Structure 1
Amino acid sequence: MRAPRLKVLLATAAVLVPLVATGCSSSTSTDAGASRDCITDFDASKDYFPDKSTIEDATGFTIDYHRSYQVVTVAEPYPGAEPAKYVLVRCGAPTPKLTGDLAGAPTVQTPIRSMYSGSTTQLPSMAALDRVDVVTGVANADYVSNQQVRDRISEGKVRGYADGTTVKTEDVITGHPDVLVSAGFDDPAYAKIAKAGIPVLADADWLEQSPLGRAEWIKFFAALTGTEKKAADTYSGIKKGYLEVAEKVKGAPKVDVLQGSVFSGKWTRPGGASYSSNLVEAAGGTSPWADDTSTGSLELSLETVIARQSGATVWIINNADINTLKALFAEEPRYRAFTKATSNVWNSTKAVSPSGANDFWERGVLRPDLVLGDLAALIHPELYPSHQFVFYQRLS
């Protein structure tokens, strides 16, 4: 299974002379996308944010408004990191004097016109906000599913800036996007990029264990693009659909769902309080690990899983390398011990491109309503006899 994010590591890069963008000057990027309307007659008493985001379910970031600028705080930019603050100033307004915990905080003129994206999970938000033209760089083009972005890549309007797991630092600096939004991991390259005048902002949506909380990071990108109302409307629709599915299966009997598979000699499955387990639970599934409080992965012996879940009736593997039952049993013949589950195995590989891009790890992050709909239909098919699957397919 390919991780949805690319952890990028710096090999070698030269420190170039810093370039600092200020005010409403045009972007120096050769492939800058969107234009923007800036304040032309600044009034210090005016509120330049008529539409404000309210965070409902996400716990990883907050937005505070100050008439002509916003302060976005990311609680944990990457695992174990201290909170990071970013000051987003409406273009045409003076940059505020930053003191206290804002001293030295990255400052970004908004709406941004060009963004380098560190994770494909960010692209559906930009598409939903009608701001795909802002995306001018992606870490790895092969992993992109969104057709609008793929078209821009083909047209030369979006460049790749990572070589495998290594950020091509000079390419980022010479491209000079308004911002680089990271994939929620630290990297030595970021300090060099920031020193060159390109703010590096952390998208840590993947640390959210709530599916709705993860989807609500669309409001983070709305703050960058000035599309707060569009984000609110989009998220409201997603949340409504998600809660409707959860309510429909609420009264149905819980189904024992087997999750994961053997990897490097250990059965690896999501922790009981993880994002994936929360989705399965909301879809009407359960397991002997339902009360487990870990949010990462559990490593178990195959014998333990067989002993506790040999009667499971549904199996969800989320393994990109397995597309048939024959391949499943070839990987581990002892899987046949799950006599009921092996006739009902599902994998999140319905929307995989020839290059290996899996839309489950891309659009699925923004659309937990669609993911939950798939899960509810495969766990409780009696409730969804005509369901059209988006991300999951049954192995045969």
Structure 2
Amino acid sequence: MSRTLLLILFIALISCDQTSSNERENSASDKVLELKYATGFAIEYFDGYKIVEVKRPYMNAKTSFKYILVSDESKVPTSLKNERIIQVPIKSIVCTSTTHIPLLDYLGETDKLIGFPTTDYISSEKMRARIDDGFVKDLGVDSDINLEELIALDPDMIMAYTIGGDYGQFNKMEQLGVPAILNAEYLEEHPLGRAEWLKFMAAFFDKETMADSVFNSIEERYNELLSLNKNTESKPTILSGVVYGDTWYMPGGKNYASTLMNDAGGDYLWASDSTSGFLELSFEAVYDKALDADYWIGVASFETLKAIEEADNRYSDFAAFKNKKVYTYNARKGAKGGSEFLELGYLRPDLILADLIKILYPNQLPEHELYFHKQLE
């Protein structure tokens, strides 16, 4: 091999190495988003782009998902060109869960929603006004979104979720040119962890500063309430859930609902359980443990004590039922019957906590009126 050819190869190798070195240097993050409670996502900031990672997109997920949010595409390293790239700030979005709606409202981006499956579920007054004015397209049932109408809308992205890891429908969307972003807020165990997903949504609108401000206000209020009953020795006992079929479903001990009840100064009878999802128990097992529970909070769609007793007369044996200390969280419903608790509750755990404290300790928070909850009669 000639000296000239060797020199050319040497220069080429040096050039490649310098290019790789420069790319590595350019890819060093300027900032990593510091999260206080949420564990399911991460955001790294770079010059001209940011990398958003959903660490656990669904229960028992073996892989994470990454999205490249671009404000200046020329700054994105070649190594990331094949990743899911989204130009930000986005100008339009389709959401698939009512829990996404308050995120838009609180960021001042209500007008960016252009499609949603079964819009009747939405309770937000601001969003219902847009729906009534024809600005939000009803895309059918969540599990079978009308892809033709979705493509016709041409949104910048769709914010989705999956319970069991089925990504098939989202693959179809992406093949048709609609980026599908997974939101896994529901997997967070701490109530403030779910609320902190506001920062996840904010990244797509370049509104991180606003998200910080809103979240800090919610966190501050939550912690103020938390301190009220921190040293309470005698705590009222709590039962939750109802029977579906032959199974009594109730929050596990690590479920965020359990955390809220205990943070309110209650003694949730299954708090020592290690389950983060929902327990599936027999009626008899619950009867034996919770017959004398002081309060029964969370009774699904039941709206009266009579309806509960008619469903199963054994319910009337519980002390909480006899003493009329049974509470539903569905006090507020949207214009079409959607649950405001199921929509807004993830973002506003401070409101839930205030309700629970008011229920368990009626003399506390004299100015607070129950927001999501009401006592059944």
Q: Into which bin does the TM-score normalised by the smaller protein fall? A: 0.7 to 0.9
Q: Is the 8 A contact 1:71 1:88 kept in 2?
A: yes
Counterpart of 2:3?
Answer: none
Change (3 A) 1:131 1:240: same
Letter in 1 for 2:87: Q
Q: Is the 8 A contact 1:119 1:182 kept in 2?
A: yes
Change (3 A) 1:245 1:183: same
TM-score (norm 1): 0.83
Of residues 362, 375, 380, the one that matches 2:361 is 380
| Structure 1 position 199 matched with structure 2 position 199 | no
Counterpart of 2:250?
Answer: 269
CA shift digits 1:256-292 (9 cap, x unpaired) = 0011111111221111111111111111112332110
Taking the aligned partners of 1:53 and 1:128, their CA distance within structure 2 comes to 20
Of residues 365, 371, 375, the one that matches 1:390 is 371
Q: Is the 8 A contact 2:226 2:263 kept in 1?
A: yes
* Structure 1 residue 355 displacement after superposition: 2.2
* Structure 1 residue 51 displacement after superposition: 9.9
Taking the aligned partners of 1:152 and 1:119, their CA distance within structure 2 comes to 17
Of residues 52, 57, 60, the one that matches 1:72 is 52
Task: Using CA pairs under 8 Å that are at least 6 residues apart, name the structure with larger relative contact order, 1 or 2.
Answer: 1
Q: Is the 8 A contact 1:183 1:202 kept in 2?
A: yes
| Structure 1 position 55 matched with structure 2 position 39 | no
* Structure 1 residue 93 displacement after superposition: 4.0
SS at match of 2:346: helix
Q: Which runs of 5+ in 1 are unaligned?
A: 1-44
Q: How does 1:222-261 map to 2 (within 5 A)?
A: 222-252=202-232, 253-261=234-242
* Structure 1 residue 164 displacement after superposition: 5.8
Of residues 303, 312, 335, the one that matches 1:332 is 312
* Structure 1 residue 351 displacement after superposition: 0.7
Counterpart of 1:141?
Answer: 119
CA shift digits 1:232-251 (9 cap, x unpaired) = 00000000011111111212
Counterpart of 2:91?
Answer: 113
TM-score (norm 2): 0.87
Taking the aligned partners of 1:328 and 1:51, their CA distance within structure 2 comes to 53
Q: How does 1:61-100 map to 2 (within 5 A)?
A: 61-81=41-61, 82-90=63-71, 92-94=72-74, 96-99=76-79
Taking the aligned partners of 2:346 and 2:126, their CA distance within structure 1 comes to 18
* Structure 1 residue 80 displacement after superposition: 3.0
Counterpart of 2:333?
Answer: 352
Structure 1 stretches of 4+ with a deviation exceeding 3 A read 49-53, 184-187
Determine which structure has the larger helix proportion and give its number: 2
Taking the aligned partners of 2:274 and 2:224, their CA distance within structure 1 comes to 26
* Structure 1 residue 169 displacement after superposition: 1.2
RMSD, matched Cα: 2.1
SS at match of 1:71: strand
Of residues 215, 225, 237, the one that matches 2:195 is 215
- More divergent stretch after superposition (60-69 vs 349-358): 349-358
